[in-house]
Amino acid sequence: MLKRFLKPVCLLLPIMLSGCQTAQTLDPKAITHIKTVHLKPVITLPQDITYRGMADAFASSVGGVIGGMAAESASGDRLEMQKCIQDHHIDMAAILRQEFVKTVAAKGLFVIVADNLPADAELSLSVDDYGLGVGNTLSPDIHGLLLVTAVVTSSDGTVIWKDSSSIKPDDNANNVGYARSDFLAAPEHFTEAFVSVADIASARLLEDATNP
């Protein structure tokens, strides 16, 4: 059962986060009465991805002129990765929706119903940050990163529950990773990495809803 509380909000980029989550419940009993929800069709997300590759890590560690040159190179790497994502129509919002729906069905906390059917509440998802980054500076492997927020509102617009989940590249559960060159050579790896973080975030959001 959810209790009324408000944990400190973690708004730093996922690459800087330690995997913290925030949860807010305005009515301690309201969530327990929710059996059906409408999932809003639109999931907002940033226009640009966050990217932190080996060049970024090197630039941060050395600084100065050499660090500046490395940072310039890193900026080009990010643009190249983002272009590849866009060119191959890899949609983080669609991936998150798919994984969230699957996780809801598996957990059984409530049922997502069609918009033309009555529902107890409305649920919206928003991607606050997403992208890719090195999980360990000693390894060239790059992993997905994601910061997602879920909000449940009643029919009159009252916020019943709100929670955020951050999955960073070095999260122990985030084990899908490839070298930068592998992502560019086989763009399906982007999808794999994003599915991984979306799946983890979805599970943790629903876990937090049942075990605050």
Q: How is residue 68 written in tokens?
A: 């500046």
The answer to the question of residue 144 being in a domain is yes
Which of 3-7, 14-18, 117-121 is predicted with the least confidence, judged by mean pLDDT?
3-7
The answer to the question of residue 35 being in a domain is yes
Task: Average the pLDDT over 111-126 and give the result.
Answer: 95
The answer to the question of residue 71 being in a domain is no
* Contact (Cβ atoms closer than 8 angstroms) between residue 74 and residue 57: no
Task: Average the pLDDT over 139-157 and give the result.
Answer: 93
The answer to the question of residue 183 being in a domain is yes
Instruction: State pLDDT tens for residues 12-58.
Output: 333 333 344 555 554 555 676 789 999 999 999 999 999 998 656 54
Task: Average the pLDDT over 88-115 and give the result.
Answer: 95
Q: How is residue 197 written in tokens?
A: 């973080």
Q: Which range of residues forms the domain containing residue 101?
A: 5-51+91-210
What CATH number did the domain enclosing 10 receive? 3.30.160.150
The answer to the question of residue 74 being in a domain is no
The answer to the question of residue 128 being in a domain is yes
pTM for the model: 0.80
Backbone torsion region of residue 12, taken as left when φ is above 0, otherwise alpha when ψ lies between -120 and 50, otherwise beta: beta
Domain count, the chain: 1
The answer to the question of residue 72 being in a domain is no
Collapse the DSSP code of 104 into the 3-class scheme (helix H, G, I; strand E, B; otherwise coil) and give the result: helix
Instruction: State pLDDT tens for residues 58-85.
Output: 445 444 444 444 445 556 788 999 999 9
